[in-house]
Structure 1
Amino acid sequence: MAFNGHSPFFLLLLITLSSINSNTNQAKARQLLESALPELPKPEIPLPQIPELPKPELPELPKPELPELPKPELPKLPIPELPEIPKPELPTLPKPELPTFPMPEMPKPTLPEGPKFP
C-alpha cells in the first residue's frame, strides 16, 4: 500500500487559492450593485428655550443649644521631693609613665659612588 505524505499540504494549498480567487469577484460585484445615494440637506432645527427656574431656598432651621456643663476641677497634687543622692567620686589615678630606653647608635651606611657621565 502506498502512502502519499503530501496530501494535507495540497489540500491546504487548494483551499487557500480558492479563497483568494473568490474574494476579488465579490468585491467587484459589490461595486456594481451599489448605487450612489443623493445627499439630502440637513434641516436646521431651532433650539428650544427652557425657562429659568427659581433657585430653591431652604428655610433656616433653629440651631439646638446645648446646656453648659460645669467643668470638673482636679485637686492639685503635691510634688514629691526626692532625696539628694551624693555623686560618686572616682579616685585619682597616677598617670602611667613609659620607661625611657637609650637609643642605640647605628653606623651610617656609605653609598658607593656611581659612574659619572660626561
Structure 2
Amino acid sequence: MKNGMAARQLLQLPKPTALPPMPTIPSTLPQPTLPPLPSAAGAIPTIPSLPTLQPLPSAIPTMPTIPSMPKVSLPPLPSGFPTMPSIPGLTPAGPGN
C-alpha cells in the first residue's frame, strides 16, 4: 500500500518534466532492436539436438530391480540366526538359498 502511494506521488511530481523527454527516446529504440530479433530466431532450430537425452529414460526402467532387494531380508533367517542380523547383506546371499 505504501509503495503504491509513494509511486503516485513520484509520478505526480516529475509529470510535467518527465513526459516531454520520454517520447523522444522510444521513437529511436524500436528501430535498432527489430533487426537483431529475426537473426536470433534462426538459431532456435539448433534446439532439436536435445532429443539426444531420450536414451536416459531407457536406463530408468532398470531401477525396478531394486524392489527385489526386500526379498533378501527373509524373516526365517533372523529367527534362525539371532547373531547374523548384524550382517544381513552377506548372510542372505548364501543361507537364503
How does the TM-score come out when normalised to structure 2?
0.36
TM-score by length of 1: 0.32
- Which structure shows the bigger proportion of residues in helix conformation? 2
Task: Find the structure with the greater CA-based Rg.
Answer: 1
